[in-house]
Amino acid sequence: MTRAALRRINERSWWFGLVIALIAAYNERALRLQAAEYERRLDVLNHAHSEAREVQATFLTAEKFEDFKEATDKALSLAAGAKAGLGRLGMLIVGGFAVLAAIVGLANLLTGTG
């Protein structure tokens, strides 16, 4: 081969090497940017998850609602029975217990101890 042909091959090799090095550098930069974006998205998801857990803690479960409903139904039936069959004093006592049971049931629901 002539010197000119060798020089052209050398120049082409240098350019190809430069192109490959640039591609590798851009790929590395793209991976760093992608990792940073994944980290940002995970932070957003974790924050949203913790907010959802906080909101969910304020919800009333079906079990607690059923307990409250049973206590209220019992208190109302006691009050209705008192109204139908007891005198005024008995009605006041049963009504007082019904109100007390409703207050305790509501307090248990609000505090989450029921």
Give tens-digit pLDDT for 91-102: 677 778 888 888
Q: Kindly report the pTM of this predicted structure.
A: 0.42
Cα separation, 74 vs 90, in Å, equals 16
65 and 48 both lie in a single domain: no
Q: Which of 16, 41, 59 is the last residue of a domain?
A: 59
35 and 49 both lie in a single domain: yes
1 and 55 both lie in a single domain: yes
52 and 74 both lie in a single domain: no
Query: What does the DSSP 8-state code read for residue 31?
Result: H
66 and 48 both lie in a single domain: no
> pLDDT tens, 59-100?
888 888 898 889 888 888 877 765 555 566 666 777 788 888
34 and 87 both lie in a single domain: no
Which residues span the domain enclosing 19? 1-59
Is there a contact between 94 and 82 (Cβ–Cβ < 8 Å)? yes
> pLDDT tens, 11-44?
777 778 888 889 999 999 999 999 999 999 999 9
